[in-house]
Amino acid sequence: MKIKNWIYTAALGAVISFTGIQQSSAQVAQDRYFRAIGTPHNPKVQVSWNRYHTNLALEEIMKDMVKKHPDLVKLESIGKSYQGNDIWVLTVTDFKTGNAEEKPAMWIDGNIHSNEIQGTEFTLYTAWYLSEMYGELDFITQLLKDKTFYIAPTINPDAHDNFIKEPNTLNSPRSGMIVLDNDGDGLAGEDPFNDLNGDGHITMMIRKSPTGRFIKDQMDPRKLVPVAADQQGEYEMLGFEGYDMDGDGQVNEDGVGYYDPNRDWAWNWQPDYIQRGAWKYPFSVPENRVVMEFVMKHPNIAAAQSYHNYGGMILRGPGAEEDLNTYNATDIRVYDAIAKKGEEFMPGYRYLVVYKDLYSVFGGQLDWFYGGRGIFTYSNELMTSYLYFHQNAGRGNQDEQMKVDTYLTFGDAFVNWEEYDHPQFGKIEVGGFKKNFGRLHPGFLMEQDAHRNSSFTILHAFHTPKLSVMDVKEKDLGSGLKEITAIIYNERLIPTHSSQDIKYKIERPDYVSISGAKVVAGFVVENEDFNKVKEQKVNPEKIEVENIPGMGAVKVRWIISGNGNYSINVDSVKGGKANWKK
Amino acid sequence: MKRLYLSLVVGAGILFSVQTTSLAQGDYPTLSQLTQRLQAISGSGSAAKLSSLTKTEGGKDIWVLKIGKGEIDNKPAIAVVGGAEGFHVLSVELAVQFAERLIKEHSDILDRTTFYVFPNMSPDAYEQYHAPLKYERRGNTSKVDHDRDGRVSEDGYEDLNKDGLITLMRVESPTGDYTPLESDERIMVKADISKGKKGSYLVYPESRDNDKDGKFGEDLTEGIAFNRTLTYKFPIFTPLAGDYAVSEKESRALLDYLFDQWNIFAFVTFSPANNLSAPLKYNAADAKKRIVTSMLEKDVAINSMVSGIYNETVSPKAFNQSNQGTDGDFFQWAYFHFGRLSFSTPGWWVPEIKGDDGKSISNAEANFLAWATEKGITDAFIPWASVNHPDFPNQKVEVGGIRPFVMYNPPYEMVNDIAKEHTDFIIKLAEMSPKIEFHNLQTEKLGNGLTRITVDLYNNSPLPTHSEMGEKSRWLRKIRVDISKDAKDLVSGDKIKLLNKLGAFEKTSLSWIVKGSGAVDIKAGAAHTGIAILNVKL
C-alpha cells in the first residue's frame, strides 16, 4: 500500500514539477479577476456551480463547451431515452494528439437514479474543468493528450427533469419514467403522490390524534418529536402527501415504475423476486441499453465512475456476496490504492465495498462494468451530512438538518406546516423538508465537492495504463541471427487487463509486433535471468501478450535475421499504443 | 377462369386439412413451407392470428400464433414453443401441428383457454437442415467470437469429404484418447484410463485448425443459440451464449411480448430438456438460497401430477431422458424467472433397444444405431473414410459418424402420431387451467337499506392459481376482487381486494355490507385465472 501511494505521489509530483510556476499576467484576467488557486478564473464557458441545471440548460452548456473548445470537446447523442430525450456523451480529450478511440479512456456518468441529480453537475464540472485547464496546467494538458474522457451527465434524462419540474419527494422518482403496475392490481400508475398544497414538493402529512405518538417541539415547532413511552402524544404521521385515488384503501402505492435502473445490468442479473427493482432482463431499461451499446463500442474504456447520492462513499463491488470470487486480490490492490488515496482528499468520504458495507445488489451497474467488461469501476455516493458541520451526525438527522436550515439556509429547506382538508383523512397538516434538501447538496457546498470528486476521477483516469517500449536489447547469435529483447512498461496502476478480463478473455490480448525484420522465432520472456521463454509458433512477428500489469512490464523476444532497421509497436485496446524505432 | 378459381378452393382445402399436410410431405418442412402453413392456419375467420415479433439477424421472421375466442386476453393461456434448438426440427413441426390440430379438432377448448404458439425460435439455425451443407446448428446469424481470441468465427466446421454433411473426424495417433466401442466399432468413445485402457485416436468435429491454436471447430461460423441466451443460469462468455443474456433480437422480442401477456399460466416447450417423463427434483438447500436453483416443493408436486398425465397420454416409454435443463435455456427461464408452470419435452427420443444379451445398450449412440437397424434405416451412419487433412499431413485421418439430425429427429413419417399424442397432452393441460368461480351466494337484509352479501370464491381446478414460484413473481397478477358500489356505500368489505392465490380446488369467503338497493356486480380473477362476474340483486 505505502509503496503504491509513494509511486503515485512521485509520478504526479514529477509531472507537476515540470510545470514550474506560471506567474504571469494571465492570472489577472481582463483587469477584473484574480485566480483562486485550482479554479479556472476566466473560463471560456461560464457556469455557476451552485445550482442545478435542467436538460435544457445542460444542453446549452455542453454545446457551448464544444463551441469554445472545438479541439477538446465533442458532443454526441448516443441514443434516446424512453420518452425520446437524447442521452448525451461529451468526449473530452486532446483530439489533435492521437485517436480518441485508441487512448485509454475513463467513463463517467451521473443520475442513473432520477433524484440523484448532483451527479449530473459533477460530471459536467469535470468536463468543464478539464477543458478550461487544458493549456494552463501541464498535468491536465498531458492527461488529455494521453487519455479520453467519456462523460454522460445524465443517463436518465426523462426522470432528471421530472424530479426537478414535477412534485416529488427527496427519493422520487428512483426509476425512469416507464409506468408499471407497482401493486399488482392490473393497473399501472393509478395512485401516485398528490401535491396537495401545490408547492412542487411532496412533503409529509400529519394529523392531530389522541393516539398519536408525536408532538411538535416547543423550541422549534417545525420539528415533530416522538413522546416518551408513557406520555400522550398529539400527532400521528400519515406519510407522504397523497390520497387514495383508486379506492383500494392505500395511498401513493402505485406511481411511476417500481423498477430500479441500477438493477438492470448484465452481470449476475437476477429477477425481481430475488432482486427487487429488476425489470425484465438485463438492459430492458432503454437508457441502460444505450449506455451498454456505447461501452461495447468503446473497449478503450479502462476505468469508470458512476455517481449516486447519498452518504459520502467511494464504492466498489462486489455488489453481492455470491460474487466474492469475482474480485480477486490482484485487482483489489489496484482498487484499494486509488480509493484510499481518494479518501485522503475527500473529507467525509469513506471507501466501502457494496455487499459488505451496504447491502447486496444483483445486476448493479458497477458490477457489470467490472464483471462484464473488466473495467475498474467505482460508484461515488455524493453528499454527506459531514459537509455541513464536519460532524458525523448521520443520515437524515432531524436536529442537524433543522440547524442547517436555521443558520445556513435560513428557512429555504423547509415547508412550514399548514392545514389542509384531506378527502379521506379530514383535517391534516402538510409540511416538511423540500425534495432538494437532504440528499442533494445545498448550493454553497456544491462546487467544492464537485471539485474533489472530479479530482478523484482524474486520479482514476491518470492510472489507466500508460505503455512504452522501455528498453530494447540486441544480442548477436552468430550466423546472421540476432536476438532482440524488448521491455514493454506500464507506468500506471491499472493493468491492460483486469484479472476478471483475463479470466473470461473479455478483451483480446495486447499485441507487440516487430516490423522491418525477418522473424525466425518469437517469445514471451517469462524470466530473463534464467532464459525461461514461451514460444509463439504462429505469427511470431505479432506476439500476443495476455496482460501488461500495472507498474510492471512484460518482455518479448524475437530471433531475427538480417541487419535492417526495424520498429516495435504495442497495440493494447485498453492500454493504448506505443512504438519504438531503431 | 372458373376452373382456376375452383382449383384454388381445393388447394385451400388441402392446406387446412391436417391429415393431408402431414402425409403429403416426405420430410420436415422448409421455412417457407412453414410460413405457408402458419398463414393457412390463421386465414380469415380463423381463431388464430399470425404476427411476426421481429426478424432475426438472418432476416427470418419470428412468428407467433395467438389463438382464442372472445375475451382472449382474460382467459388462462398456454404458450407452446418450438425451435428452442435449431437442430431439433421435430420441435417446430410439433408446435405447428399442435396449432393445426387445435383449430381443426379441439376448437372447443378455446372457450376456456387461449394459446400462444411460437413455432420456431431458431429459424436461422433451422435453415441448416435444408442447406447444401447440413449440420446440427444451434446459433443464429450474429457474428460471435466464440473462443474469445479476437478473431471472429475463424474455426468453423469444414466439409472435408465433400458429402454435404458435417460429422466427425478421427486421427490415428499413439497419443489419442479415443478408442472404438467394443460392441459397435463404428462408435468412438474415450478410453477408460481407470481400467488401464489406452486410446489410439484423436476425435474432433469435421473441421480444420485455421488459427493453429491446436483446437478444432472451436469458433463456429454460427452466432448465439436461443436456448443458451436466457437469464436463468446464463452461461456468460461461453460459446453460443455471448457477452450478456438476452442479447439477440429474437430473444428480446419474445420476452418483451411475453411480459405483456398476463394470461399465460403454463408453457410447453419442445426442446431437448425433459421434465414431463419425470418431474424436476426438489432440493431443499437450493430452493432456500437467495438465488433459487431448485423448483420449489409445491411446484414439484404439480410437475409430478402433470408428468403423470403426460406419461398416460404419450405412449413411448422414457429412455435416456436425463437432460432436465441446461444453463441459459428457455424452459427453466419460464419457471425460474417468469414464474409460470413450465414443461419441456423433446417429443421423441430413441427408444430402448435390448442387445443380444437382453440387456439395454448403455451407450446412447450404439442404442441409436441398433434402433436404426431395426427400423431398416441404412444410412444413419456415414462410414469412416480416409481424407487428406492439411493439419495432419502424415497421419491417417478419417471422416464419418452418425448422420446429422437423425438422433434427435425421427423419420418424418413418425411425426404424425407423436404430434397427435402431444396435442392431446396439451389439451388435457388446458382442461386443468385455473378457473375462478363464484358459489354459495347469500344476500341478507339487515334492515334500513343494508344488505350483507356473502359469497365463496372458488378455484375449480387441480392447479393452484399461482404456483409457489408464481406467488413470488411480479409477473403473475394477483386475484383482484372488485365490487361495483362506491366506497361510501360500503359499510364493510373492500371496494378492491387483492388475493395472493387460491390453491387447487380451494375456496375463500368474501363478504360485504352494502347500502342501497338495485344490483351490484362483483368481479374476481386475474388474466391467467379467467375473470368471473357475479350479478347480485339487493
Q: Could you state, in order of their start, the residue ranges of all structural domains in chain A?
A: 2-162+260-386+442-462, 180-255+397-437, 467-581
Å between A322 CA and nearest CA of chain B? 9
Cell numbers that stand for A93 in this block: 480529450
Q: Please say whether the beta carbons of A92 and A72 come within 8 A.
A: yes
From chain B, pick out residues whose CB is under 8 angstroms from the CB of A292.
244
Average pLDDT in chain A: 94
Q: How many helices (H) and strands (E) does chain A have?
A: 12, 25
Cell numbers that stand for A225 in this block: 418529536
Picking from B438, B445, B444, the residue whose alpha carbon sits closest to that of residue B483 is B438
Q: Which residue has the cell 439477424?
A: B57
Q: What is the pLDDT of residue A5?
A: 52
Q: What is the pLDDT of residue B23?
A: 45
- Can you give the C-alpha Rg of chain A in angstroms? 28
From chain B, pick out residues whose CB is under 8 angstroms from the CB of A282.
231, 244-246
Residues in chain A whose Cβ is within 8 Å of chain B: 181, 183-186, 246-249, 266-267, 269-274, 280-284, 292, 296, 322, 360, 362, 372, 504-506, 508-509, 537-538
- Residue range A75-95, pLDDT digits in tens: 999 999 999 999 999 999 999
Q: Which residue has the cell 411480448?
A: B257
- Residue range B189-242, pLDDT digits in tens: 999 999 999 999 999 999 999 888 889 999 999 999 999 999 999 999 999 999
Flag whether pLDDT at B1 surpasses 80. Answer: no
From chain B, pick out residues whose CB is under 8 angstroms from the CB of A537.
212
Distance CA B367, CA B350 (A): 8
Flag whether pLDDT at B433 surpasses 90. Answer: yes
Distance CA B193, CA B197 (A): 5
Nearest to A185 among B212, B246, B496 (CB): B496
Flag whether pLDDT at A282 surpasses 60. Answer: yes
Instruction: Note the helical H segments in B106-211.
Output: 123-126
Picking from B216, B62, B60, B232, the residue whose alpha carbon sits closest to that of residue B146 is B216
CB contact under 8 A, A274 and B290: yes
Å between A544 CA and nearest CA of chain B? 10
Distance CA A468, CA A490 (A): 7
Nearest to B150 among A272, A362, A509 (CB): A509
Distance CA B437, CA B505 (A): 10
The HSE-up count of residue A227 (CA atoms within 13 Å, CB side) is 16
Q: With 0.80 as the threshold, say if the pTM is over it.
A: yes
Q: How many CB atoms lie within 10 A of CB A406?
A: 14
Q: Could you tell me which CATH class the domain A467-581 is placed in?
A: mainly beta
In our burial notation (b when 16+ CB lie closer than 10 A, e otherwise), range B312-348 reads ebbebebbebeebbbebbbbbbbbbbbbbbbbbbbbb
What H or E segment, with its residue span, contains residue A506?
Answer: none
What amino acid is encoded at B211 in this protein? Answer: D
Distance CA A437, CA A431 (A): 13
Distance CA B232, CA A268 (A): 10
- Residue range B302-339, pLDDT digits in tens: 999 999 999 999 999 999 999 999 999 999 999 999 99
Q: What is the ipTM of this complex?
A: 0.92
Picking from B350, B405, B65, B387, the residue whose alpha carbon sits closest to that of residue B208 is B387
Which of B147, B231, B232 would best serve as a mutation to test chain A binding (most A beta carbons within 10 A)? Answer: B231
Residue B20: band (very low, low, confident or very high) from pLDDT cuts 50, 70, 90:
very low
> Per mean pLDDT, which range of A54-63, A268-277, B83-92, B144-153 is the poorest?
B144-153
Spell out the domains of chain B, with CATH numbers in brackets: 2-129+226-350+410-431 (3.40.630.10), 168-221+353-402 (no CATH), 436-537 (2.60.40.10)
Residues in chain B whose Cβ is within 8 Å of chain A: 148-150, 211-213, 230-231, 234, 236-237, 243-246, 252, 255-256, 259, 262, 290-292, 336-337, 339, 469, 472-475, 477-478, 480, 487, 494-498, 526-527
Distance CA B404, CA B168 (A): 10
CB contact under 8 A, A273 and B472: yes
Q: How many CB atoms lie within 10 A of CB A41?
A: 16
Q: What is the pLDDT of residue A26?
A: 60
**Alpha-carbon torsion, ordered A100, A102, A103, A107, to 10 deg:** 70
CATH superfamily of A2-162+260-386+442-462: Zn peptidases (3.40.630.10)
Flag whether pLDDT at A25 surpasses 80. Answer: no
Q: What is the pLDDT of residue A564?
A: 85
Which of B286, B469, B490, B496 would best serve as a mutation to test chain A binding (most A beta carbons within 10 A)? Answer: B496
